[in-house]
Structure 1
């Protein structure tokens, strides 16, 4: 006997977004969350929501709630060896902005909205302990509460939104494909740090990346990702090392003059993980399907987008008792088509390599031409795919831009401080 149309494990951004979208489509949803605390939140995060997720936030009614909670519309200033590239007008047809909002605000906000949505049975304090497989497809989920009482839920569709260590993926035998990350990542939040007029800043070098992202309540997240050779110095004195690294950047922030809010945290070993997005009766969304280098701030956006893609691909089929597994294949193709290029490029950079000449070409062109900058920022916001960003016509235009700039003023002056960052 089916107890719910959709059973979702994981009550964070991806799981709550999917639950709301399915419930609004007229389906019954069980939302299972291991943590019983409604105010629990993910601590290790860049707290950056890419612009590519804005349509989903607006569809869920969360954009207005995020702004009411103090969320900052993110606009980026990017520094490379060719100087500053300022985000101005958005590439036509693409979302205008994303948001900076710390997870201490975002997670309880989206969880409360999901728990209050008609059609969702909210099950906090319950852990997934196993899957029931019938005729080769996932047909049931066993959950256990804090007292050890077990219960079996049977659904037409089961969804793993339970993070990069996904228990559902493990139960289903969906093993991750792992690529190493040759860099480590440290960050902390500060109050009283120069907010740059509310704009985010990123310093991008070949060895590493640093940034400052202003969030709600005048709090700014400052971060650095660097080669593993520098890890011993960071582990010895994380706050001092982070402050030295950022102060050495062009127009770098002075962390010593600000008040640190909370601990200095980091990802010392954060490999890139990618799993098959589906198997019969089961789908993975968010970090359960794809978890990549955190420096790019893609986690929340990919979580929201994959939740919407899954709902769009399967909701009507579930309502009509149609072939769900065929609909799941549609979702898997969409997920692969939209994110495979980004995932591959991010994993490639995480290997510790230096920039390719094509990357240098696109960055140099963006420093000279606002039209090229618009394309760069659309790609950085994950609103533009890798194939489109690196299309032959785009590369030709970038090459022409660089040639004109060099003929007009010679080669750009390289900035060694960024290269050392």
Structure 2
């Protein structure tokens, strides 16, 4: 362990949770000179999150590059995640449209990714990875968090730090101990997924089906594995409870142009959850910050949680590293992080929470999805939004909406039957 500083802190930063957000924050903060304790409740360094989309959207690629993980991911077989999306108007195919190569992220199983990034954190000078440490409470003085209490195999211990970071997921114990305000958005869908081997997909790219309100996706991953997920409306929950395997397979078989599920080998059990609400939390408190799902839990339908975990770790590092290592105002730095987090993700979460109600497409969504199915430029525009490289304001910019209107009007005119000639032939 690092020696305490003059103020009695064991570390500059104590992070609870050694998954994507926690490991990324630890690596980036340590590279900026901070002394970091990275706590993980599980004892195995190869532990991983099983219930996940196993997809890193393109917004995460710059962070993966900064972490130095891209060569290792490519070597491990991570699949660049091009995608096509089925809608009632046809397929939206961004990669088939003319233009330069689209930005990409990666599909990679968490059983591959989590040990990889945790190992990278353990190799980073300034990071102490403390496995088998479950946070049981916070140390607080004068209204601010100054450390944690953790249960270990040897008993409970206290670890002090100038900043405590909750990177412990959607049911964050750190957020609960700190009394951080949480807004809960109900999700009208439930979800199940399984991994299959030898499941071919056209062009070997990701597929998603918008069968509103039901949804599904199939993502090719490393080692020839494809992750197949179904996200039906909760009205269908009784049939899945009565026969999970039969309902899952029947759902996939019914997908338009769906994958040949019966010819593939299922290599995992069907796992999922019947209740997955979206959480929006205040991302900071005195002496404390939240990253990843602990700060904002999105709808798994969109597969953006991993990307936002990595991005929020970088945003936190950029905001607080100067204060932690240079003696600056930490509270002011935390305020900068909180404002940036809300500005970047608030609009995305608003739209996701609204769509999680299981409602039909609204008029603007119908306009944009139908336009993207009929126009390559709009399909590429939708790719940038789905990859979280642009926000809602740019996605729904006047220029984009106007193009969608024109595209759909042209389609309607082209599809209209020819006008009848008059009896005189005029």
Cross-structure match for 1:311: 317
Cross-structure match for 2:55: 48
Aligned pairs for 1:210-249 within 5 A: 210-249=216-255
Cross-structure match for 2:149: 142
Please report how far the alpha carbon of residue 405 of structure 1 lies from its aligned counterpart in structure 2 after TM superposition. Answer: 2.2
Map Cα deviations across residues 149-176 of structure 1 (whole Å, 9 max, x no partner). x222221111000111111111111132
> Are residues 1:286 and 2:318 paired?
no
Does the 8 A contact of 2:97 with 2:379 survive in 1? no
Cross-structure match for 1:419: none
Counterparts in 2 of 1:173 and 1:203: CA distance versus 1, 3 Å: same
- May I ask how many residue pairs the two structures share in their alignment? 410
In the alignment, the residues of structure 2 paired with residue 203 and residue 170 of structure 1 have an alpha-carbon distance, to the nearest angstrom, of 36
In the alignment, the residues of structure 2 paired with residue 180 and residue 410 of structure 1 have an alpha-carbon distance, to the nearest angstrom, of 42
Map Cα deviations across residues 236-295 of structure 1 (whole Å, 9 max, x no partner). 222221221121122111212111011101120111111100011100000101112212
Cross-structure match for 1:82: 89
In the alignment, the residues of structure 2 paired with residue 367 and residue 409 of structure 1 have an alpha-carbon distance, to the nearest angstrom, of 15
> Are residues 1:107 and 2:114 paired?
yes
In the alignment, the residues of structure 1 paired with residue 102 and residue 339 of structure 2 have an alpha-carbon distance, to the nearest angstrom, of 23
> Are residues 1:253 and 2:259 paired?
yes
- Aligned with 2:125 (options 118, 137, 141): 118
Cross-structure match for 1:298: 304
Runs of 4+ in 1 over 6 A off after TM superposition: 89-95
Does the 8 A contact of 1:158 with 1:281 survive in 2? yes
Does the 8 A contact of 1:55 with 1:95 survive in 2? no
Once superposed, what is the RMSD of the aligned Cα atoms?
A: 1.7
- Aligned with 1:370 (options 368, 371, 376): 376
- For residue 159 of structure 2, give the secondary structure of its aligned residue in structure 1: strand
In the alignment, the residues of structure 2 paired with residue 390 and residue 242 of structure 1 have an alpha-carbon distance, to the nearest angstrom, of 35
Does the 8 A contact of 1:94 with 1:378 survive in 2? no
Q: TM-score, with normalisation over the residues of structure 1?
A: 0.94
> Are residues 1:155 and 2:161 paired?
yes
- For residue 190 of structure 2, give the secondary structure of its aligned residue in structure 1: strand
Please report how far the alpha carbon of residue 89 of structure 1 lies from its aligned counterpart in structure 2 after TM superposition. Answer: 7.5
In the alignment, the residues of structure 2 paired with residue 274 and residue 94 of structure 1 have an alpha-carbon distance, to the nearest angstrom, of 34
Counterparts in 2 of 1:395 and 1:244: CA distance versus 1, 3 Å: same
Q: Which has the larger radius of gyration?
A: 2
Gaps of 5+ in 2: 1-7, 418-426
In the alignment, the residues of structure 2 paired with residue 173 and residue 373 of structure 1 have an alpha-carbon distance, to the nearest angstrom, of 43
Counterparts in 2 of 1:134 and 1:91: CA distance versus 1, 3 Å: farther
- Aligned with 1:392 (options 384, 390, 398): 398
Cross-structure match for 1:170: 176
Does the 8 A contact of 1:31 with 1:120 survive in 2? yes
Cross-structure match for 1:183: 189
